[in-house]
Amino acid sequence: MILPLIIFSLCALLTVGGAVALILSREPIHSALALILVMVSLAVLYLLLGAPFVAAVQIIVYAGAVMVLFVFVIMLLNMGVEEQTDFSKIAKFVGVPLGLVLIVWIAHWMFHAQAGSAMGTGATMVPSSTRELSTQLFRQYLFPFEATSILILIALLGALVMARKEE
């Protein structure tokens, strides 16, 4: 059916457009809004790929929590228009060519990968439902999961300590 293709094209366009706007806009809050757009369109793409749980979590965590904090900080500091510097020399002579090489490489890889093979294996390996996902997360990947949460807790405590240093 043609509907998924339309939604995919629209969201892909929004994702790329949002990412470009994020870099190019001079107002911090516009950049933040562009990033929210990227997050939400990515979530819709996940939904199209048959991963509704990941899509919902993507919106809750990134668009609903992380970006709210970004926007909150930008509002609190009431940041003005950013200064834009000239194109740096390193970016001009190293960054742009390397970026082009990366794009060409990915495009090459995508065109030469066997159609459907990558998606086919992915669909069987990645759990799609919430139940399967949680079973795998809390059985097979329990240690990495807990280790990650401890890591986040440490980062949180570190941020607290650094914020309270001056008292």
Partner 1 sequence: MGFISQHPVLVASIVKAAVLLFIVMTALAYLTWAERKIIAHIQSRWGPYFVGAHGLLQPLADGLKFLFKEDITPPVTDRLVYTLAPFLALSLSLTAIALIPFGPPSVLLPLVGQQAWSVTDLNIGLLLVFAITSMGVYGVALAGWSSNSKYPLMGGLRSSAQMISYEVSLTMSVVGVVLVAGTLSFNEIIQRQSGAFWHWNIFGLQHGAVPQIIGFLCYFTAAIAETNRVPFDLPEAETELVAGFHTEYSSFKFAMFFMAEYANMITVSCLATILFFGGWLSPFPSSWTWQIFLPGAGLVLLGIYCAYDTLTEMRGIARLQLAVVTLLALGGGLLCLIPAVAGVIQGPFWFTTKVLLILFFYIWMRGTLPRFRYDQLMSFGWKLLLPVSLANLVVTAFVMIWPWLRHG
Which one of 42, 44, 45, 59 is in contact with partner 1 (CB under 8 A)?
59
> Which residue is it, tokens 């997360």?
137
- Binding flag, residue 127, partner 1 (CB under 8 A): no
Which one of 10, 13, 24, 75 is in contact with partner 1 (CB under 8 A)?
75
Distance of alpha carbon 9 from alpha carbon 41, whole angstroms: 11
Q: Which is nearer to partner 1, 19 or 30 (CB)?
A: 30
Q: For residue 131, what is the enclosing H or E element?
A: helix 130-138
Structure tokens at 118: 């990558």
Give the x-and-dash track for 23-42 against partner 1 (CB under 8 A): ----x-xx--x--x---x--
Which one of 130, 135, 148, 149 is in contact with partner 1 (CB under 8 A)?
130
Structure tokens at 144: 């990495």
- Cα first-last separation, the chain: 62
> Which residue is it, tokens 């020399």?
89
Q: Which is nearer to partner 1, 8 or 53 (CB)?
A: 53
- What is the size of the binding site for partner 1 (CB under 8 A)? 27
Structure tokens at 14: 């929004």
Q: Which residues contact 25 (CB under 8 A, 6 or more apart)?
A: 31, 34
Q: Taking the CA atoms of the chain, what radius of gyration do you get in angstroms? A: 20
Which one of 57, 126, 127, 136 is in contact with partner 1 (CB under 8 A)?
57
Return residues touching partner 1 (CB under 8 A). Answer: 3, 27, 29-30, 33, 36, 40, 43, 52-53, 56-57, 59-60, 63-65, 68-69, 71-72, 74-76, 78, 129-130
